[in-house]
Structure 1
């Protein structure tokens, strides 16, 4: 099967990293913005934009409040799907797989790399829960600032999620809607990928 140019290689994580690097040079805002789809315990789907923070050797990692709607949905049903779409490059990557929490030193390091206001905001926001006014939120930020000081630790309710894909599809726009699509599939992390070209 012919796979050259932007599709060349046998490691889909490396191809995804290369595409993201190219997008960083061409996308105006947030080239790492992704649509994340989850489902609750009853199977009702939900989708929202989040920022992808790492394409690791075996997963795609983002961070959030574990008590948020997405955090609760992933705890109840630890499977998710994600789409990275770059309009400037006319490319997208779709993936789906199993989800685990990204906690410990990696989460601590990422949290510490964020701006102080973002770190304090993570403590102050009860993400996804009702809020009566912005003034209430800002008052909570002030209280947290006074309590936690200039170097707050990572909250125990805040950290990462890693999607370990069982399927990754790379799509590139083609003339007359004759797009190029290749999908990598496997059932477990220790299996080899099965690679297949798909009809547009």
Structure 2
């Protein structure tokens, strides 16, 4: 069953403490799902058809190449953005003293001991906003900022609470929060 489209935001996603666990809920999507091989093949076909129409209209080689590339780019950008928004779902990350669990509506809920987590990356602000979790040999990525097409650098996720940072550091992950090109990034990696 497809997830509901992204709802309008009212502020950055926050962290909540419930029963000793910190949880964060945010609307996310997957670029991999939006840019499927079928979409790229369809856009390529539209580009070829547009180039053929340009040839029939008497365009030279530069004109047919430009027409094909522009048609491919237009179809890819518009349809992938629509798919990003339509496939958006709620991501819930829950961190206890010894585990990290993820529920995103696309796959069954997953949970790992903090000692199995290899990396937690959260880009908090603007178009680069995303979440990445590497655990037990598996990498999972979700995009946030690409759901909201604008150039402003606004926060989508609040800062990682000190207690969550402490739990990750105690589990053997190194890192913290830093500014990178005006974007706040929290990156914790196992060394």
Per the TM superposition, whether the score is higher than 0.5 is no
TM-score, normalised by the number of residues in structure 2: 0.24
TM-score, normalised by the number of residues in structure 1: 0.24
For the pair shown, the structure with the greater C-alpha radius of gyration is 2
